[in-house]
Structure 1
Amino acid sequence: MAGFVANAQIHEYSVRRRFRPLVGLAAFLVSWFLLMPGIGNAQNPPLTTTNKKAADLYNKALDALSRRETGTTLELLNQAIERDSGFTEAYLKMGQVYEFMRRPDPAFQVYQRAIRQKPNQPVSGPAYQFVSTYLLKKGRYDEAIPCLEAFQKLFAPQSSQGKRIARLLQTAHFGQQAVQNPLAVKPQALPATVQAFPSQYFPVLTADEQTLVYTVLKPEGDEDLMVSTYRGETWSPPESLSPAINTPDNEGTPSLSADGRTLVFTACQGRSGIGSCDLYISRKTGEAWSAPKNLGPIINTRGWESQPALSADGRRLYFVSDRPGGVGRRDIWCSDLGDDGDWKTPYNLKSINSPFDEASPFIHANGRSLFFASDGHTGMGGYDLFVADSTSSGWSSPQNLGYPINTADDQAALFVSANGNRAYYSHEESEPGAKQRSRLYRFDLPESLRQKVRPVSYLKGQIADAKTKKPLTATIELVDLATQQLVTRVQSDPQTGQYTAVLPTGGEYALYITGPGYLFKSLSFDFTRKREGEGMTLSVPLEPIVPSGRETLNNIFFETGRFDLAEKSRTELTRLAKFLEENKTVTIEISGHTDDRGDAASNLDLSRKRAQAVVAYLEKAGIELRRIRSVGFGETRPLAPNSDEENRRLNRRIEWRIL
């Protein structure tokens, strides 16, 4: 899957697919040519040739090169080689000229001839450097390994160049093994309706994969953010994301929250920025995006900030920066959104960043799997894609995603769907006689990678008034019942009432929906044995705080036939206590209900004792007893016929209502 687009103008930082055999080593080669005897200075020790005519032609070539007459230089060097076919310095200088002319293929050929003449001498060092890196960039690992091994013998192992060569050898061996063990990846281009521009790249999607936002490069050179919607069978033609966001200057590298209503993107000029490239945030209400706001000096510096990655709930932000204090040149940093609505001081992901460059982080909707590009960790050459997991003890060691997701070309960005089934990316390609362009692709994630990505479900729907059906703004919170910890918090759209919340699989969770002036709604989700990662749609009506308004406490748990509250009931009861504290004039009735198993008298007694247990908890939490009363109805008020276990579960419940 060669040629992921890593960048366009918006980044000021190119890792586009092009021939780059000397990245990071240009200064080394220039100094080598200037200092190597007989190459950069005619006053240095004698050249290796004994042919005076060849030497004269060589020196004339140097004079022509000083005047930047590359054609004349190559002609004179060829004449020198005709006089002496063993003239190593002439081949080396010719290779250098081809490099300057950006003609790697003939440079490769002449450098190979120089190596064959002087395979064990330092004079061939520049040729070894070019040939080995050329082979790596072409993915010709079997040929690169012996070339690098010969090159390595010219330097002490602990020298700076010796260490560079050792790293290149590590790359060659890794690439060789990866190509021999390919993953089952079959990319498919997204429909032509989406590919409406010369180049489109950096795709991101909402958790339900219904909304696609991406960067496009227009013919006039302007970068904008576009949006396309999935309509059951195909994607709609792209539209400008918003006139409030797109300008005549460049906007790019978008990141979306799971519900698609919070956007962070990069802009590098034309706005009131702090540094060379800054991050901006915009929020969607109804169908309108707010005017973008610079994330401010906590996030943005006088340096370079770009390539944002929002967590599913929009409360954690990963991004790339060259600010001081990092591990490498450009590192991944992270910031959390405080309860006060301000971003906290970013911290460096030191266990993930390398001494080189990291790029394009993407945090999966599970909040745990971080995908990113790097040219510092062991890969197949250039930028490879990696994944690391957040654990209780920190980040795991980055793992290379393997071949053919990674190749000898630069790979830059990957978006993985919430359910872990699909990945989206952009691929740069060119046709004979045509300019390079990039298109959007997707592929099914190979099983070996799917096992590493914990899938998540999503819950979406509308929050509305139970009586008037008016859409409501509400807070939706997901709590892990085992740990009592908040997993995610999102807001419904104040105009449409729409919401999307991510639900992790593999546990028991309580979902709470609260809105001012309404009873809170509690729901229960048990994913202990489920890993489907599929989404659900659930519209939630909220009852206003009026007499006789009632709700079920769906996260109150008792052992069968007992009235002792289970520990995981604490979250629900704490919420109810908080509601009563915030609404001090409200008095409520707690009622217990059972199914029809057992005799009626025992069920009535059990329902009363369970209701009393809830009242006792609330009293202990500081709620006055005069505001709470309890009652038990046993099996007399079923919600559904006691015909199966699911209905019986519904009938075993604790309700509360306003008096």
Structure 2
Amino acid sequence: MKKLIQPLALSICMMLTITVQAQDPKVSFLNGNKALSQGNLDKAIADFKEAVNLKNDYQDAWYQLGLTFNYARRWEEAVYSFSRLKALNPNYNPWFYYEACRALIELDKLPDAQNAATAFLEKYPNKPKDQLSRHQALTKLVYARESPGLRMLPKSMTDPVPLSAINSPSGDYMPQVNPTGTRLYFTSVRQGGFDNLDDSTRMMDFGEDLYFSILENGTWSAPKLLPEPLNSMGDDFGSAFTGDGQMMVYVRCGDKESIGNCDLYITQLVGTDWSEPMNMGNVVNSDDWDSQPTISSDGNRIIFTSARTGGYGGSDIYMVEKNHLGEWGVPQNLGGTVNTPFNENSPYLAPDGKTLYYASNGHPGFGGMDIFYCIFENGKWSKPINLGAPLNSSGDDTNFSISAEGMGYFSSSRLNGEDYEIFQIELPDHLKPKPTVVVQGIVSNAKTSAPLEAVVLIEDINSGELISVNKSNSSSGEYLVVLPAGRDYSVSASSKGFFFYSQSFELPKDTTYQEISLNIMLEPIEKGTKVVLNNIFFESGRAELKPISYVELNKAADLLKDNATMIIEVGGHTDNLGSDELNLSLSQKRANAVMEYLKLAGIEETRLKAKGYGETQPIADNSTEEGRAKNRRTEFEIVEF
């Protein structure tokens, strides 16, 4: 009998021990912490709930339960947990006020969020090591305080329209439209690309690929994949192009050459083929996440998103420019006016080169990520302005881009919180970038009409500043340049073995958007070739060269230096206003003035001749002002070569 009683007593004792352990709130609390450290949020919540059920005044468990609900985005339950903690001990670790503020903002309970942020700032230490946390709370406080007023502003635009011709059942995002608004590039995880079928967890996500669509007769065409090597079996996304579409920067993740988990790559269109994409290297890329680039129309600067260390928040916006060696330099953070302690991403530099659109969840807004814009003026970025409703919504609104004419495109999760879709919207004038003029055409051989690869220079005709260097396509001869309003430009094309061509464009600040078609025919350098130098200007009725002529004259001097056997005649021509004698004399004096400038530039006098023709050789109708302007010209003729 004793033998039977002893095991029975032992079993009862063990059961009592297990029951006591199961009912010990500290054990549940420790189990919750373990599950949380392993990323098992559901189990952690269950354990912390058990702990507070067993001990209603368990402050640490209420705190951890609230944090875990925040991690799980279960905002209502997080707020309840923190309210219970506050009732038990309002002087508990003040960080719970900050976490409550986060949840209340997500629930759009902004007055309560203000109170929570204020309580945090009153109770949290104010030592040097605490400033980052205080900045985060202050940013949340400003968000909660200013967002209601922003949301009450009247709408200034019509509702955005989803692009049904482009969107798919899978995610479609990161649209970028070209300056003329005729081609839209975007990223999609739809089936039918370079599909990633090995990862069964991706559901409707078949891997990120690059697509484009063309606007034809007001309708977007069916999307097409960009070719290899731009797309690959890995994730390729975030394509950004220069204005002429011949240079692309985009993102690849997990490549064998990767520096971080996602890097920026660059490629160029050579004729009809894209070059092998090149990792931009560890001067530009970091060992973290670098993504979502935009490149200026002239190709001189790239702005992108990065989560690298040393920033203001989770992800910041950086800019990189070419250095004095022509290489991409060290990225610079755009600073605390643009970036916040939270997330900024998807920058887009408009065709004017000054207006930056980007997304943020740190500045006051409508919820989630909102789209903002700021302008680079006087060496700094202006205060960001929220683009407002209905463009921005309570969902995530990102990846805005806009054509030079002002039609905008962006991606949003407003219709389906799980996936993004691409929308189109026209902005009011006050939210559009500064006006630009698009000049495009074909560079060709004047004798054979064959397309030419040429260097296309954009210069400030007043200062001589070289603004950008472009090229026409080596196969088609096509070129495109974007000229922001507010400057006077020289656009010139040159190719080895040919005489250069220049055209001036005066664009005052009140210029409106326009597209100019300018086909350029370059004359071969050979005896007898005669060209007009369009950008040589004189004071009215005089032979004094205007300073804006120096850019053109310096090109002429360089051409003569590069072709040491060339002898030219400078021909001066006038319209038919005034007497024949006066016009002949004026044209001779002007030809002499050009010749004297070239001599001062180092060209031997023996290689130069000057002759005035007056009004005897018109090339246009002298009965119109436009015709007379064309007849007032300076010509170069190669007399020996």
Give the structure-1-normalised TM-score. Answer: 0.81
On the 8 A contact 1:135/1:143 being kept in 2, the answer is yes
2:278 maps to which residue? Answer: 293
Cα distance 1:131–1:547, how it changes in 2: closer, same or farther (>3 A)? same
Residue 192 (1) aligns with residue 167 (2):
no
Q: Which structure 2 residues correspond to residues 21-420 of structure 1 after superposition, within 5 A? A: 62=29, 65=32, 68=43, 70=45, 74=49, 95=66, 98-99=69-70, 102-109=73-80, 111-112=82-83, 117=87, 121-123=90-92, 128-150=97-119, 152-155=121-124, 164-196=136-168, 198-218=170-190, 219-323=204-308, 330-337=315-322, 342-350=327-335, 352-354=338-340, 357-374=343-360, 383-391=369-377, 393-404=378-389, 405-406=391-392, 409-419=395-405
Note the C-alpha offset of 1:163. Answer: 5.3
On the 8 A contact 1:364/1:416 being kept in 2, the answer is yes
1:15 maps to which residue? Answer: none
2:518 maps to which residue? Answer: 538
C-alpha separation in 1, matches of 2:273 and 2:134 = 57
C-alpha separation in 1, matches of 2:185 and 2:81 = 47
Query: Pairwise CA RMSD of aligned residues?
Result: 3.3
Cα distance 1:151–1:281, how it changes in 2: closer, same or farther (>3 A)? closer
Letter paired with 1:136: I
C-alpha separation in 1, matches of 2:510 and 2:467 = 18
Note the C-alpha offset of 1:546. Answer: 2.1
Report the 3-state secondary structure (helix = DSSP H, G, I; strand = E; otherwise coil) of the residue aligned with 2:213.
strand
Cα distance 1:163–1:293, how it changes in 2: closer, same or farther (>3 A)? closer
Q: Which of 468, 476, 489 lines up with 1:509 in the alignment? A: 489
On the 8 A contact 1:187/1:442 being kept in 2, the answer is no
On the 8 A contact 1:205/1:256 being kept in 2, the answer is no
1:562 maps to which residue? Answer: 542
CA-to-partner distance for each residue in 1:423-482, whole Å, 9 max, x for gaps?
221012455xxx8221111222233323xx322111111111112111100011111112
Cα distance 1:147–1:390, how it changes in 2: closer, same or farther (>3 A)? closer
On the 8 A contact 2:29/2:51 being kept in 1, the answer is no
C-alpha separation in 2, matches of 1:94 and 1:361 = 37
Cα distance 1:250–1:94, how it changes in 2: closer, same or farther (>3 A)? closer
On the 8 A contact 2:573/2:612 being kept in 1, the answer is yes
C-alpha separation in 1, matches of 2:619 and 2:126 = 77
Note the C-alpha offset of 1:535. Answer: 1.6
Letter paired with 1:181: L
Note the C-alpha offset of 1:126. Answer: 6.6
On the 8 A contact 2:557/2:598 being kept in 1, the answer is yes
Note the C-alpha offset of 1:590. Answer: 1.2
Q: Which of 439, 453, 457 lines up with 2:421 in the alignment? A: 439
2:8 maps to which residue? Answer: none
How many residues of Structure 1 are paired with residues of Structure 2 in the alignment?
593
Residue 482 (1) aligns with residue 462 (2):
yes
Note the C-alpha offset of 1:323. Answer: 4.7
Report the 3-state secondary structure (helix = DSSP H, G, I; strand = E; otherwise coil) of the residue aligned with 1:463.
strand
Cα distance 1:102–1:505, how it changes in 2: closer, same or farther (>3 A)? closer
On the 8 A contact 1:182/1:402 being kept in 2, the answer is no
C-alpha separation in 1, matches of 2:61 and 2:314 = 37
On the 8 A contact 2:79/2:104 being kept in 1, the answer is no
CA-to-partner distance for each residue in 1:291-320, whole Å, 9 max, x for gaps?
212223332343433222211122322233
1:572 maps to which residue? Answer: 552
Cα distance 1:365–1:87, how it changes in 2: closer, same or farther (>3 A)? same
Note the C-alpha offset of 1:185. Answer: 3.2
Report the 3-state secondary structure (helix = DSSP H, G, I; strand = E; otherwise coil) of the residue aligned with 1:225.
strand
Q: Which of 432, 445, 450 lines up with 1:470 in the alignment? A: 450
Report the 3-state secondary structure (helix = DSSP H, G, I; strand = E; otherwise coil) of the residue aligned with 1:571.
helix
On the 8 A contact 2:365/2:386 being kept in 1, the answer is no
CA-to-partner distance for each residue in 1:239-268, whole Å, 9 max, x for gaps?
111121211111111111111111111111
Note the C-alpha offset of 1:233. Answer: 1.9
C-alpha separation in 1, matches of 2:309 and 2:281 = 17
On the 8 A contact 1:480/1:487 being kept in 2, the answer is yes
Cα distance 1:358–1:88, how it changes in 2: closer, same or farther (>3 A)? closer
Note the C-alpha offset of 1:345. Answer: 3.9
On the 8 A contact 2:70/2:103 being kept in 1, the answer is no
C-alpha separation in 2, matches of 1:644 and 1:244 = 54
1:493 maps to which residue? Answer: 473
C-alpha separation in 2, matches of 1:124 and 1:530 = 57
Cα distance 1:613–1:271, how it changes in 2: closer, same or farther (>3 A)? same
Note the C-alpha offset of 1:358. Answer: 3.8
Give the structure-2-normalised TM-score. Answer: 0.83
Highest RCO, 1 vs 2 (Cα 8 Å, sep ≥ 6): 1
On the 8 A contact 2:461/2:504 being kept in 1, the answer is no
Q: Which of 505, 530, 533 lines up with 1:550 in the alignment? A: 530
1:625 maps to which residue? Answer: 605
On the 8 A contact 2:452/2:477 being kept in 1, the answer is yes
Note the C-alpha offset of 1:368. Answer: 2.0
C-alpha separation in 2, matches of 1:273 and 1:76 = 45
C-alpha separation in 2, matches of 1:153 and 1:315 = 47
On the 8 A contact 2:575/2:614 being kept in 1, the answer is yes
On the 8 A contact 2:376/2:382 being kept in 1, the answer is no
Report the 3-state secondary structure (helix = DSSP H, G, I; strand = E; otherwise coil) of the residue aligned with 1:622.
coil
C-alpha separation in 1, matches of 2:100 and 2:341 = 25
C-alpha separation in 1, matches of 2:273 and 2:445 = 23
Letter paired with 1:436: E
Note the C-alpha offset of 1:92. Answer: 6.1
Cα distance 1:290–1:637, how it changes in 2: closer, same or farther (>3 A)? same
1:12 maps to which residue? Answer: none
Residue 461 (1) aligns with residue 453 (2):
no
C-alpha separation in 1, matches of 2:67 and 2:163 = 44
Q: Which of 617, 620, 624 lines up with 1:640 in the alignment? A: 620
Report the 3-state secondary structure (helix = DSSP H, G, I; strand = E; otherwise coil) of the residue aligned with 2:220.
coil
On the 8 A contact 2:238/2:251 being kept in 1, the answer is yes
On the 8 A contact 2:95/2:120 being kept in 1, the answer is no
C-alpha separation in 1, matches of 2:78 and 2:341 = 30
Note the C-alpha offset of 1:73. Answer: 6.3
Cα distance 1:381–1:398, how it changes in 2: closer, same or farther (>3 A)? farther
Moved more, 230-239 or 132-141: 132-141
1:19 maps to which residue? Answer: none
Cα distance 1:193–1:540, how it changes in 2: closer, same or farther (>3 A)? same
Note the C-alpha offset of 1:59. Answer: 6.6
Task: Determine what percentage of the aligned residue pairs are the same residue.
Answer: 31
Cα distance 1:260–1:271, how it changes in 2: closer, same or farther (>3 A)? farther
Moved more, 159-168 or 298-307: 159-168
Note the C-alpha offset of 1:530. Answer: 4.5
Letter paired with 2:578: G
Letter paired with 1:365: P
Report the 3-state secondary structure (helix = DSSP H, G, I; strand = E; otherwise coil) of the residue aligned with 2:216.
coil
C-alpha separation in 2, matches of 1:505 and 1:496 = 28
Please, which runs of 5 or more residues in structure 2 have no aligned partner? 1-22, 36-42, 191-203
C-alpha separation in 1, matches of 2:71 and 2:474 = 59
On the 8 A contact 1:57/1:77 being kept in 2, the answer is no
C-alpha separation in 2, matches of 1:614 and 1:211 = 44
Note the C-alpha offset of 1:202. Answer: 0.8
